[in-house]
Structure 1
């Protein structure tokens, strides 16, 4: 079973790239972020034409998340329960596997803009709500995976130039502490589990030839519960879509589960 995550930075613009990627990489569940589409404009027909189902939470212009899957997801949850938020950032569903049900969550964590901004305060509140919800989810779903754009580079290994980024968004102590609280729930960073020394960047700025210079950050992650981690045989970053014409500034992360 393969799970993947990709912040596509507008599904309207990059639907052909998503379809092409799925045909070349027929994962079981693809978590998308930054759809930037209204709920009623989601291209379900185009995905069904290549054999996929989907559940999604759309939002015009900003945000939006989806789960694109070979089989239909059940027990669908949109947004974090008991957290009032007009922004569409979370969608979860349950999928069958040979080892029983797997709970898969697509998450688009807030950017935060800057450590001295109101958006940063919102980011910290959002992470606290996510932590509380995941604590409950893990009790109900031992096999749980939450994939997405976390907008956090957990350590300096995940940053191309730690000195340059010091004190900035994505690497601040509070953001990294919020990430660690998710880990402390019993979640595991699949990529770092498989590749302890590989930077594995997943995002590169559009400016200054960042992708060509590999001046990136690792901010897209796949977190697996302890029971699910025992089945994880590989996790990789697929850089090829970042070289497309009109690419997203993020690229997919793929997890292989031997289920």
Structure 2
């Protein structure tokens, strides 16, 4: 296992946010990046700009909505799945899986589910069930695996500045949280919370009521590690400075660092 920095970033429109994305890639130099909410068709994905920045890429786009991509620094991701296995009839571009730098990477953009109750929340839960089923096969893999992306789930009340305005939101519903907990119960490690069990960590600040300025955030971007990869986890964090740029996404890049384990003498 080599030293790697793995990140997930909901860019909220890659066309609009490309300058911010390129600036972040140049400064932080992550080795593997999972992107969500491209809001661009495949033909509009900025392959050449990313190649110039030193990144190979795979993308699964969709016009105006959704879309996911995996980037690899100084390498080319090797496609495993485009679309979530078990959900072949899903018309929305929300899952991409590839082998990158010796790691199996699942990049996901889980449905938001609002308004709830209703068909959008039902779709969220159906999609989650397909993810749980596929994740079980990945969790048991002999290979290192990370499931990284925008899960659109606030796991606990500790992961949000205040629940008062969000009690009816799909991100906080018991059904959403129960699905996320079932993932963890398979043996996945929630990397950020694992390293920082007692710290408030946010990855998302919406555009309303000065929530960024007041640090009124949510933690909904997660990197889950299977038992093969989890022992290599060394560090984790959020590049919140990206949220403070002009015309930012409402998310900030969330990342982990993995490294070889020291041999016991």
The answer to whether the 8 A contact 1:152-1:175 is kept is yes
1:4 touches 1:255 (CA, 8 Å); kept in 2?
A: yes
Which residues of 2 match residues 1-259 of structure 1 at below 5 A? Answer: 1-70=4-73, 71-83=75-87, 84-96=89-101, 101-259=102-260
Shift of 1:82: 2.5
8 Å contact 1:115–1:172 — kept in the other structure?
A: no
After superposition, the CA RMSD in angstroms is 1.1
Ranges in structure 2 where 5+ consecutive residues have no aligned partner: 261-265
Post-superposition shift, 1:146? 0.8
Moved over 6 A (4+): none
Query: Secondary structure at 2:170's aligned position in 1?
Result: coil
Q: 1:141 Cα shift?
A: 4.8
TM-score calculated relative to the size of structure 1: 0.95
1:105: how far off?
1.2
Distance 2:225 2:143 in 1: 10
Do the aligned partners of 2:58 and 2:79 also contact (CA within 8 Å) in 1?
Answer: no
Aligned length: 255
In 2, the alpha carbon distance for the partners of 1:198 and 1:120 equals 30
Shift of 1:163: 3.3
Extract unaligned runs of 5+ from structure 1.
Answer: none
Residues 169-202 of structure 1: per-residue CA shift (max 9 Å, x gap): 2111000000011111111110001111112111
CA displacement at 1:115 relative to structure 2: 2.4
> CA contact under 8 A between 1:131 and 1:181: conserved in structure 2?
yes
Against the structure 1 CA distance between its residues 141 and 102, is the aligned structure 2 distance closer, same or farther, given a 3 Å change threshold?
farther
Q: C-alpha distance in 2, partners of 1:42/1:246? A: 19
Q: In structure 2, how many angstroms separate the alpha carbons of the residues matched to 1:138 and 1:40?
A: 33
Q: Is the 8 A contact 1:102 1:141 kept in 2?
A: no
- 1:107-132 CA distance string (max 9 Å, x none): 10000013212100000000000011
Judge conservation of contact 1:238–1:252 (CA < 8 Å) in 2: yes
For the 8 Å contact 1:103–1:141, the answer to whether it is kept is no
Aligned equivalents of 1:238 and 1:207: distance in 2?
20
Contact 2:139–2:188, Cα closer than 8 Å, also in 1:
no
